[in-house]
Structure 1
């Protein structure tokens, strides 16, 4: 048993020793395989990284550029890829720059074959000692390769070997001059993307062309290449100065300059050399540029900050700067820095945006308020309410609407009794009158009927056809407050300008856009944005409906009332204002949108949420949207040489005449008054189906005429019954007076059924009364009354007393002793008697008697009080009047 156990242990020990040998051999084999695999992988990686060498790949793309409507450069992009790069040729590079760069970066550049073996060996030893690749040792050619092939790759030995192989290939295929030119066009010279490439860097630091660089400037640029972020003088002046001096010393060392030249260059202070580039983007263009960028990405799928493009737009730079100044409060004093403005100006008939307002003090990358939705207030009424009434209710533009107190309970409205901005109601009126005064009740009532007839989905589609995205509104349902601007989200200035441009263009919707075409440089491809958009133009509401909206707006926009006064002098302008309020009733959003055959402009003004929370409102700024739109359109009108006209009247509409206030519509008859005839537009076949009856008028049943105490005539008619309507205009009350010989001696027309006739009969008269239409010769029956006038009756005697040119009144005191009494007889045959009485009523002087009107003069004693009695008699009756006065002593 023991021997067996011993033999088993020995056997196991032997097995253990044999296993370790196998393991060791296996490990050696695995190690060899791994080494071979790594070698193959290394070789394969290097091969894959170098197999597709192309000199074309080494070229540096320039920065994308935006050009305005005149083809002038207006913006150059800055990005991590291209910066504000503009390539230069070798001939444009001054020798002093080449010498500085070679001295600082690759002193044997013109001698080696793309790599410098001594430098590589030195760098390899350094990296090996640190057990990692720390960089360095790359020639200028290798740096060009790295920038072109491995800009974001990690530092590995395969990458370094690939750089060497590709550098050798590059040196064989292109000249040293081409390589250093590629290098200088590609490399960073500072922290900013505006300093990528030597041309951009020269502008960035010195605001000059590369060819104008001096020795100290060239040395400074060459010095930044070692560490662009560290040696940018705008951020680290001391380090940049020190590095420049090192480069100058290297240039002496390599024999490019003398020590004297070096010392003189060092004396030039870096801060005195710097001149911040004038190529910094104009902030007044920033909102437009941001809109262009967004559109480029949408239309091409590429970012102009990353892919070199030439982008040709429709920007009017002068107008864009003018609009920006307005938004910033430079043109008008808005006083409150929180007050914001946004807007869009586009060509009416082709959708081309020529200027935008992105917000107050807008900077690149800000939220572009030209595309931000705001509550529209009344600015959508012409389209959403009355325009869709033309479409779904077949109304004509002369339709009569009612402004009266109304409670609404449909379409999401819970017993809503809205009011007008003035708190009043204004009765019957045309659509144009309702729009120019922006009355709410007619608009809401109209929209209610539109929703009943067309439905919510149709309204949403109609708005989408105009370029207004209602997806957010659709989630909550279209409710009656939408009629007066109570939207959940709203519309943007770009959308509203595009919608009204569509209306002005007979309903042809052309997407609002900034871009004409885009040249993608690397692909040698052109994207014709404008042409594609024009080719995809669509009809929106219908040319008939759009034409009718346009004509409606043109009819009231020239009224000169309110904010429309700011559009006076602009030809063929249609416009609509808009105001929305906070829950407390304070003014919040202000709008003005206007169009001409050439341009459409929409401007919003208001406060953002935080300012509104602080209680700010726009009530004192109501005039400004109108001023801004008026000034912008006036500028365009004054500077547009080739003026356009609106598209022609479509065949699907016709001009009609209807009787005002009658529905279904009736054509006027020959007796319909002009004031009741409305000339307007309707969809063909939707005009009057009948003609108004010839005018009739009610009978007059009650009429009275009496003589009043003043001797004039009071009249009283039975009030005219208007319950049957006023189709033929206003009814007036006519009075005619005939004398005893049946001659018409007086006619008077009253607007009310009672009144006093401005006529005083002197004998018996016949007074006739009847109804009549104010504008028609249609009268009722005539009723007459006779008035007997006593011919002997006299009025009060009429006389004046003057002294020294002044009137002597009852109870007065005069200084002069001479007086004149002027008597106006009621009839020249009447007898006049003048008496002077004492204070006790006794006669002082003999009475003076004469016939008819006359003037008599008297001299009185001072210190007495006199009473003058003047009596007039016609032989049957007499009247008298007295005046008492004192002559001072």
Structure 2
């Protein structure tokens, strides 16, 4: 206890102790007041912002909730194509919705539907946690009421203002309509893919059931799962994904107590494909394969029902190209087969923009049936060798900077697990360039390229081109893609090669205009998928495929085309099942492009059978279809593909490894022009080729036959098997300018002759590099025909008795003393050393044969003319 000297001292001490507490309480009060002020300002600001955001929210128009507004589709020229929304729809009331379907939908979309008033804060945060625990898409955050509002009144733009308006309208909708009415609106509006709008239409489309009360638990769960991503969960086209989603719905139903865990597990055992009916849709919509893609894109990107949303949809459709593609597929112009299951798919894309110009979804469809299976977009087939630029050689150039000359060895080889790999012809061709390996579609070099690049980098490269591979195996190197690809995917990937490495996802819709006049651009953003040198070098190698490789049947004169062929084979299990031979081919592809257009063609069968194989002739259909489509749409205005500065072209001597530059003496037949990434793998060493000496021909003879008025030439030559030698024959008539009359590998020739003329022949031996020998010559003079003798009463030259024979100003008459030599010969021009000034041993006109002239004696007369004037 403290002692104080006075009461005053004690009072002062007590006051000192109390002052800090008072100051502390005062500070706390200030903080509380400030927080209350901020909260008040925030509340008023929030209310003001909320009021501002909802002030122009659309009214709750009941006609938009129940009555559909048709959407209009326009082509690339802005012309109306079709009006969507005139089709019959099946509307179902709440009383016709079975409990199992309602519970499946509520468990998936809004389990607390009957407990909230339009917006469910518990549902919102619960969905966030579920997506974190179970993966994206496990549960949605919006209530069913919000989804009805979004589908009926609002644009799909993702802004805070739109979300606030959605919340406001959802609360108002709950005030005006009952829960059963709102659920009824939802189930009749929602999109189920495959052109099925509303749950009743979906049940009929997928299960062939017009009565919803007949739906089973697995069927109801399947339908409830589709709307989360309609096109990706379409059970016709993606049965595996649809089944996985169906099973998620069953788990949610068990979680929320609608069914037991045992019931869920039992329903999961039912395969989705066993539930499905035949995929058919009845309609009279034109260009249905293309419009099918349009509807998918608009639905996927806006979430709206195109049949009820009243949209103006501006597409990339070229009606002329679309009509031609449909005509090709549905006629016998190219495809002439009586195999009922034979099908084809065509995707035509603008190389520079990625805009889809035409889609051929199948051939000879059943009359009146449209929106069926689309072989241009829905089919998933193994691509065969068309995948090689995407997973093998493209990545090799991109990451390893290989040149088009990079050497690979085609030899007996195995996959990493020891499984042998073979080429399509069962042969091995040894060392070759990457260009040659691609042009000849050799499998073993392709696998080696993939192995050197690595599976992960190859997958990364392919996915930048829209392949969507979840994994990568070595079998992908030669087209053994597990889930297959579609023609549209392949067209998109190849167009990036033709577009300098820029990938633009193929798309059919440019923009949509909403009923209120607002627009939404649906064009995808361009993405850099590879370096420009990769795109150009792959393109140049693919040009070789078309010019001299496996794709020559697809070539169009006048167009610069790059492309690749591809075929597939049955595995051993299917061969045994259907009794097919080892070489049976079920699919044939051709994917190619010009600077203007890219087209991917698949031909094959709708199902496997003992007849589902392509004959050698039928394997050509894909190339022939490509040739006709490109010829029809491309006028060549795009020119050739432009070489980037990152690439350099060099003349390389064939077979050298490492590569050596060709020199001026390297034979042309041994030179290849290849591209290198500037600064990488560029050869500096020069080949040591020396000038080739070409021996002249021997024993040249020229024989005139007066009966046929022709001269027969013949000569001999010792052929070196290691040299490719041909012969060039030049002719000089009456001293005029010599002309080349033949280039041949034969050692004889027959030419027409004119009486009274002098013929000088020169024969050169020409090597493969263009080097020529000295000429060997022969001279032949053709005799003139003797004039007819006058009759008894005629005197030559007398008037009235006939005309006097013409006498040339400078006649070339035989010398009576030497019949084989002309008196006044027409001498060749001394400036043309190819013709001798003083020919020796002319042909005797009396025996019509020539004496041989040696090329050796004529070598000095060549002067500066080495015989290469007309070299090729």
TM-score in terms of structure 1 length? 0.47
Structure with the bigger percentage of strand: 1
- After TM superposition, the score normalised by the length of structure 2 is 0.48
Q: Which structure: larger Rg?
A: 1
